[in-house]
Amino acid sequence: MTKIHILHSPNFTPNENGFLAPLKRSESLLKKSGIELFFFSSIQDTFFDADIIFLSSKFFSPWWRRFGFEQIKNVLLTAKERANQVFWFDLADSTGTTHFKVLPYVDKYIKSQILKDKTQYQQKYYGMRITTDFYHHQFNIDDEAMDEPHLNIIPNTEELNKIQVGWNSGLCYYGKWRHYIEPFTWRQQSMHKLLKPRF
């Protein structure tokens, strides 16, 4: 039996749900095929005892500011040492805002949407996206605050093949009770208003 350990954020965002939903729905089918999934929302020693490790970028979102890349790198090195393969799942909405600092430490970098021409990732873009770069140059738009520098790393040519397209929040469950879900408990303001047209 092949064991896949999946590390995800404890705070479920739509993108995180889109990442987890097809895995959860396929869990029993995969088990019949000899693949067993285990889900983790925190790092413990047993997490690294797997054949394959999936890492959600949403889990590490607060780490970039709070701890810096060195702490993330330590997790990646341990994962590479103890598992056969390590996959980083970049759950950002766009083809930009990448986390290519992790590329040397993972076997695959799976992103919900990627550029068709991967060599375009070897160019610097204003705002870490092609669209923001276009508006910046075309209309001289400047921003006071830009995203973190770790989001604009240029990958080496030999690592471009690690970048692969995955699935996105289009595969999340949007059933009839979806709009009755309670607000996230981690929200600082205790406000919830449902605005939607009639069905």
Backbone angles phi, psi at 183, to 5 degrees: -65, 155
Asked if 172 contacts 21 with a C-beta cutoff of 8 angstroms, the reply is yes
pLDDT reported for residue 135: 87
pTM for this one?
0.84
- Ordered structural domains, the chain, with CATH: 2-115+156-175 (3.40.50)
pLDDT reported for residue 127: 81
Residue 87 one-letter amino acid: F
pLDDT reported for residue 78: 99
pLDDT reported for residue 44: 96
How many angstroms separate the CA atoms of 91 and 170, rounded?
12
Question: DSSP letters of 156-172?
Answer: PGGGGGGEEE---GGGS
How many angstroms separate the CA atoms of 181 and 187, rounded?
14
pLDDT by 10s per residue, the chain, length 199: 999 999 999 987 888 989 999 999 999 999 999 999 999 999 999 999 999 999 999 999 999 989 989 999 999 999 999 999 999 999 988 898 899 999 999 999 999 999 999 999 999 888 878 888 888 888 888 877 666 666 778 999 999 999 999 998 888 777 765 555 565 566 666 665 556 665 4
pLDDT reported for residue 171: 81
pLDDT reported for residue 97: 86
Backbone angles phi, psi at 21, to 5 degrees: -55, -50
pLDDT reported for residue 198: 56
List, in order, residues 6 or more apart from 160 with CB less than 8 Å away: 118, 119, 121, 122
Question: DSSP letters of 8-59?
Answer: --SS--HHHHHHHHHHHHTHHHHHHTTEEEEEESS--GGGG-SSEEEEEHHH
How many angstroms separate the CA atoms of 100 and 176, rounded?
38
Identify the residue whose tokens are 């790198």.
73
